[in-house]
Chains A and B, each alone.
Chain A
């Protein structure tokens, strides 16, 4: 298994443009997480899905951010319009949650986003 796959690995865009980040979780995993990593705030959970359903999106910073999971093998995180303060590394992670405990999360390589 190639693990969690994210694309693109690097994205440079101009302020105001739409940005779409993509994630393919590990096959068979039923949970998917989107995180943002910055120097100032560390690793923040933005949103997570369980069985393709959004469970908690309280970490999504504002309406400019949206995430979808149309099927078990694909998710997108969209920023529209993008702003320079959105510059960060965005990680996707997947996990196979057991009934009574949080299982290990497996992280993708991340997408480094730079908004000019």
Chain B
């Protein structure tokens, strides 16, 4: 099993561009999450989903959008990229709400 797969691993964007961070899991987990991790700041929840077609905001949702059309996929969309969105983005999934499995992240720089 691959677990949680994130693509791309690294990306540089210009201010104002948009992009989609991809996340796929093969564990048939209902719960999926997007976090951002800034240096020395821990992880902050951006959006989460409790199943296909159901999403909700986390702690820091501004500037991002998500969709969940299938159990496996949970893409994160950045519209009008800003320097404040430079971060490492992690996707996670879980069978229950407590045991979250993380991907290896997407390192995003906005210049």
Do A and B originate from a single complex?
A: no
Q: Which of A's residues lie within 8 Å of B, judged by CB?
A: none
